[in-house]
Amino acid sequence: MASIEPKASTTVMLTPQGEFELERMPPNPQLQAWDAADQYLLKQIDELKILTRQSRLLLVNDNFGALSVALADNHPVMVNDSFLSQQALYRNMQLNGYEPDQVTFNSGLPLPHAKFDVILIKIPKSQALLEHQLYSLRDLIGFDTRIIAAGMSRSIHSSTLKLFESILGPTTTSLAWKKSRLIYVTRDQALNQGQSPYPDSFIVEADREYTIINHANLFSRDKLDSGSRLVIENMPASEKYRHIVDLGCGNGILGLIAASLNPEAKLIFTDESYMAIDSARINFEAAFGKNREAEFTVTNCLQGIANESVDLVLNNPPFHQQTSVGDTIAWQMFIEARKALKPGGELWVVGNRHLAYHAKLKKIFGHCEQVASNKKFVLLLAVKQ
């Protein structure tokens, strides 16, 4: 096969299945859309010859579609909680000349009801998500199903192996290759005790008591994080806020309190996690019933929200995507928030002090003021002029 010349935001993954041009979502020329664990897994699949054209193949946590593209001829089902991963899948299928319907996307809510011959798992950053997925996979595993997991060595710990062994069955590991490892799992069909402990919940005391439900992949799943607490303690309330967005909403706690303090406002919850949006919907309906108007949108930041259509955006930005740390997503959130806000509309942002969000907001909005702070976090306000 001829070598591929990558574009500015793409990299080329070399595998036994071929050479594939891949792009992250959002595009980032400093980071590649695959890792050595993807290559190791594809190399092992080729050596073991466990896939045929008729094999029913399930790919779990394929972050940017690297596995799906390389194995597209097997028409796999790809399971991922991330809308960005879904968009990366479609983009990378297109880049490599495949039709989108050669891979079936599944958000994991719920998993498909089918038995699979081969299940390949990338180890996620969240151990809670992995635990939930392993319990959920039990019903998809037949007597002859081959199960192989992969991850960078830094992501595979003794606790990771114990999860596989306690939920699915006997587990062994490979030697390290380019700082990645494989996990081989044999399903013990007699091992059926226990079930996923997720979603779980915690109580928040604000203007009243809220029980907050959280799916497995949510940030600060077991308690209210300090940043959100700072926003809640200073939550704005005014008749001028007719349309409020909880941007990167997670479990929706910020939008929930904003809705309570601004009873005439329409709420919009956005997040790129399917589990986050489902949690936010559950929590909003528990607090207000189905009569209070709200929108729940799985999307990339504020894509799909009309320009100059909202009065207030609440934002606790993530500073990582999977294992990569950076401010790319925060920049995108701030830029898109300015576009979505009406003139005079407000963006309220909370973040760790060291992230220096005030500098970014000043560059985008022309100004920024500090509303409140504690030892670790600052709450910032930028108004669209």
Last residue of a domain, one of 139, 158, 185: 185
Cβ atoms of 61 and 89 closer than 8 Å: no
Cβ atoms of 310 and 345 closer than 8 Å: yes
Q: What angle do CA 213, 303, 321 make, to 5 degrees?
A: 60
Q: What angle do CA 271, 340, 217 make, to 5 degrees?
A: 5
Q: Are residues 173 and 103 in the same domain?
A: yes
Q: Are residues 241 and 321 in the same domain?
A: yes
What domain range is 313 assigned to? 200-383
Q: Establish if 367 belongs to a structural domain.
A: yes
Last residue of a domain, one of 154, 185, 216: 185
Query: Given a cut of 50, is residue 1 above it in pLDDT?
Result: no
The predicted pLDDT at position 322 comes to 52
Q: Are residues 62 and 104 in the same domain?
A: yes
Q: Are residues 259 and 369 in the same domain?
A: yes
Q: Are residues 160 and 26 in the same domain?
A: yes
Q: Are residues 233 and 369 in the same domain?
A: yes
Q: Establish if 2 belongs to a structural domain.
A: no
Q: Are residues 227 and 336 in the same domain?
A: yes
Q: Are residues 114 and 205 in the same domain?
A: no
Average pLDDT on 93-116 reads 96
Q: What share of the chain is helix, strand, coil (3-state, %, to 5)?
A: 30, 30, 40
Q: Are residues 141 and 274 in the same domain?
A: no
CATH code, 266: 3.40.50.150
Q: Establish if 194 belongs to a structural domain.
A: no
What pTM did the predictor assign? 0.94
Q: Establish if 195 belongs to a structural domain.
A: no
Closest CA to 19 of 5, 36, 37, 35: 5
Q: Establish if 1 belongs to a structural domain.
A: no
Distance (Å, whole) CA 169 – CA 237: 53
Peptide bond into 110 cis (omega under 30): yes
Number of neighbours of residue 319 by Cβ within 10 angstroms: 16
The predicted pLDDT at position 215 comes to 98
Last residue of a domain, one of 185, 216, 236: 185
pLDDT, one tens digit per residue, over 183-218 is: 999 999 999 999 999 999 999 999 999 999 999 999
Closest CA to 202 of 214, 189, 193: 214
Q: Establish if 3 belongs to a structural domain.
A: no
What does the H/E/C string look like for 88-116? HHHHHHHHCCCCHHHCEEECCCCCCCCCE
Q: Are residues 226 and 324 in the same domain?
A: yes
Where residue 291 falls among pLDDT bands split at 50, 70, 90?
confident
Distance (Å, whole) CA 378 – CA 372: 6
Q: Are residues 153 and 246 in the same domain?
A: no
pLDDT, one tens digit per residue, over 48-96 is: 999 999 999 999 999 999 999 999 999 999 999 999 999 999 999 999 9
Number of domains in the chain: 2
Q: Establish if 105 belongs to a structural domain.
A: yes
Cβ atoms of 3 and 23 closer than 8 Å: no
Which range among 38-47, 124-133, 153-162, 217-226 shows the weakest confidence by mean pLDDT? Answer: 217-226
